[in-house]
Amino acid sequence: MSNPAKAIGVDFGGTGIKPAVVQAGVIIQRGEKVDTRSHIAAGTLFDALFNAIAALRRDHPDVVAVGVGLPGFVDTDKGLVHGLANVPGWDEVPLLKMLRERTGLRAAIENDANAMAYAEFRHGAARGATNALCITLGTGVGGGLILDGRLYRGSRFAAGELGHTSIDLHGPRGVYGTPGDLEVYVGNRNIAERASRLYVASGNVRSPEECTPADLDKLAQAGDPIALAMWDTLGTEIGAALTNAVWLLNPDTIVVGGGIAAAGKLIFSPIRRTLRDRTSKLFNEQLRLVAAALGNDAGILGCAELALEAGE
């Protein structure tokens, strides 16, 4: 049997370009990480991208496909990128065509949250799922959907924005004006500010900088009651948003990734309890709630996979 085909996956963010060669769902070589900020200033961002790809192809001339994941709105039908976080002037960039023409390889471009969901589906925690919801918890809260065994993108390629769904129609407003926007409750910065306020109120002053998810994890492990209560509240809030998605989509798998997923049982227990208490048996008895398996590599792996599956 021949070896599985190799592809290059590129995690193309507003601050860094991370390229790697992928084979059979595993990164076999990482390229040098490129700091994009100087290239943005100099207008040489695409040169940096194609140089990074070319460097990896010198070591792996048998690469057959290249996929790029970006944190913006990516029109996968037309192959266009509409805006990229931190990169002014990106509007309707025909990146798919550029990739094909400049590499001669088959290619794919994809929103990074979708790429991560697809990687978890093909090679990670959602393997074997038919309908999976992936949520990533960080400074922002993002998500991606696998429905009927395929990546679901929505009518403007923007589906899966679980971070902007509301858990309280009269709650505090998020960046798009949505009252009760989940990110306002469980985005990392908001967690830190909420926890800090609780500590200050208790007379045990901690600054927001001392209330990162990692800090709260350590404090809770040591039995600190405020940290324990905070995790329970966060899990209930995340669980409330996931409950809505479960009633709507009746998935078999939910994958939770990102910084606060590292807190393990502290966050998974209240999420699981909330899902069980707020949905019916038909919806929750067959539902797997699992931690993401691929970490920060998911974006690279997902767009490499999508590129391999893309047409010529």
What residues make contact with its own copies under the rule CB under 8 A? 73, 130-131, 143, 145, 147-148, 150, 152-162, 164-170, 176-180, 236-237, 240, 243-245, 247-252, 277-280, 282-283, 286
Residue (173 or 218) nearer to its own copies, CB: 173
Long-range contact pairs involving 228-233 (C-beta distance under 8 Å, separation at least 24): 228/266, 229/198, 230/191, 230/194, 230/195, 230/198, 231/263, 231/266, 231/267, 231/270, 232/270, 233/270
Q: How far is the CB of 242 from its own copies (least distance, A)?
A: 11
Residue (181 or 217) nearer to its own copies, CB: 181
DSSP state of 297: G
Q: How far is the CB of 99 from its own copies (least distance, A)?
A: 23
Q: How far is the CB of 303 from its own copies (least distance, A)?
A: 20
Residue (31 or 235) nearer to its own copies, CB: 235
**Which tokens go with 77?**
């039908």
C-alpha to C-alpha distance for 13 and 101, rounded to whole angstroms: 22
Q: How far is the CB of 255 from its own copies (least distance, A)?
A: 14
Phi, psi dihedral angles at 178 (to 5 degrees)? -75, 115
Residue (59 or 91) nearer to its own copies, CB: 91
Residue (8 or 134) nearer to its own copies, CB: 134
Residue (167 or 260) nearer to its own copies, CB: 167
- What is the Rg, in whole angstroms, of the alpha carbon atoms belonging to the chain? 20
**Which tokens go with 55?**
């460097």
Best CA proximity match to 114, nearest among 298, 241, 308: 298
Q: Are 135 and 147 in contact (CB under 8 A)?
A: no
Q: How far is the CB of 241 from its own copies (least distance, A)?
A: 8
DSSP state of 129: -
Q: Are 111 and 157 in contact (CB under 8 A)?
A: yes
Q: What are residue 74's DSSP bridge partners?
A: 81
Q: What are residue 162's DSSP bridge partners?
A: none
DSSP state of 89: T
Residue (22 or 167) nearer to its own copies, CB: 167
Q: How far is the CB of 312 from its own copies (least distance, A)?
A: 23
Q: How far is the CB of 132 from its own copies (least distance, A)?
A: 9
Token pair 């966050």 in the structure block, residue: 267
Q: Are 163 and 141 in contact (CB under 8 A)?
A: yes
**Which tokens go with 160?**
């899966």
